[in-house]
Amino acid sequence: MSFNDLQKVLDERKTQSLYRRRQLLQSPQGAVIRVDGKTLLNFSANDYLGLANHPEIVASFKRAADEFGVGGGASHLVNGHSHHHHQLELELAAHCGRSRALLFCSGYMANVGVINALIGKGDGVFQDKLNHASLLDGGLLSGAAFQRYLHNDVNSLAIKLARSSASRKLVVSDAVFSMDGNIADLPALVKTAKAHDAWLMVDDAHGVGVLGKTGAGCSEMYGLSEEDVPVLMGTLGKAFGTSGAFVAGSEALIETLIQFSRTYIYTTSMPPAIAAATRTSLAIVQKEHWRREHLSLLIEQFKGGCEQLGLHLLPSSTAIQPIMIGAAQTAMAVSDKLLALGMQVKAIRAPTVPVGQARLRVTLSAAHSENDIKQLLGALAQVTKEIDIEYPC
């Protein structure tokens, strides 16, 4: 296969309105950003609590960089495990009500590393059909028998678990599904996993920091313990506004990951300054409840406005509010129209979502104001007059 063949594939993606392009961000993340020379209202970031450019967090990063330098310098198991890494692990474990926590450089590395450390050939992994790509890749790479159950359908899961003769069984689910915004029925998953002697792993990347009374995520929201959800993953680059990820659970789980998780063992630790900044972010998450309360009000305002406009929203109560469009070409056209009106709202297309289910993935933040939401709804009203975006149910 020559590179000419590769170009043909790329050209085909362009004709299908599936080609991905990068934009140049020229400002910090926030409700208002500057992209490619344009000032835009930002509805496409995962900075749910508006902490990515918080002055206290930035100051913590700077102080720690002066103290510890920039790079981690080595893996955690050599000499890259700094004071701030260690303290952050302790603080995250306490925040999530777990015995211990372990830091990873990204959510992708955490998911792949955890799944492959826990299961292998002769075992079984059972995943929700709409799980994040990192979870699916982790399952496929593990060598375990890989099965996908129908989205948020515990009956489908139970049937597959009952038919399995695997030595170990690992059930894996997102807590908040990143492209749909809905929340998994975690209590039902807990019950089903226990009934079939399976472990449950939950990826709460979009819930930790945002959901639950103290921002400890979906497990806190549902009142689920370490025994109920023995493997809990959360990311730091969304609600916490920094970078990296963590896995929380029992002493045995964390020690197993330290011994066997290749994505933990064989990589340089995150910069200590990132860990220090995240410690400050965590303190803000715990203290400033108004951020979650304000975000909830904005979500209800947006949903109500979309209902008045006759837009087809997926049933989501989270900061992820997908407007269903259908055709990829139409989704791109709507996104471009909104961009011209000063709104950054990205179109999500196949293969991230199924063919024919392209959507605008609107993400809201505590950094937004009620007026920001009004402006977005006004722009959507204008665009709907120019383009028919009624989703073909």
Residues annotated as catalytic (active site), given as ranges:
178, 206, 238
CA-to-CA distance for 47 and 53, rounded, in angstroms? 10
Are the C-beta atoms of residues 49 and 295 closer than 8 Å to each other?
Answer: yes
Residue 82 near residue 282 (C-beta atoms within 8 A): no
Q: In the chain, what is the straight-line distance between the N-terminal and C-terminal CA atoms, in Å? A: 40
Q: Which amino acid type is present at position 145?
A: A
- Residue 320 host element (H or E): strand 320-326
Q: Bridge partners of 41?
A: 32, 343
Residues 252 and 98: beta-carbon distance below 8 Å: no
Closest CA to 190 of 166, 219, 163, 214: 219
Contact present, 168 and 145 (Cβ < 8 Å): no
Q: What is the 3-state secondary structure (H, E, C) of 276-314?
A: HHHHHHHHHHHHCCHHHHHHHHHHHHHHHHHHHHCCCEC
Q: Cite the DSSP H helix spans in the chain.
A: 3-15, 55-68, 83-96, 107-118, 133-142, 154-163, 186-195, 218-222, 251-260, 262-265, 272-287, 290-309, 328-340, 370-386
* Rounded Cα distance, 373 and 383, in Å: 15
Hunting for tokens 């678990």 — which residue is that? 161
User: Distance (Å, rounded) from C-alpha 368 to C-alpha 269?
Assistant: 33
Residue type, 324: M
Helices (H), 119-224: 133-142, 154-163, 186-195, 218-222
What is the CB neighbour count within 10 angstroms for residue 219? 27
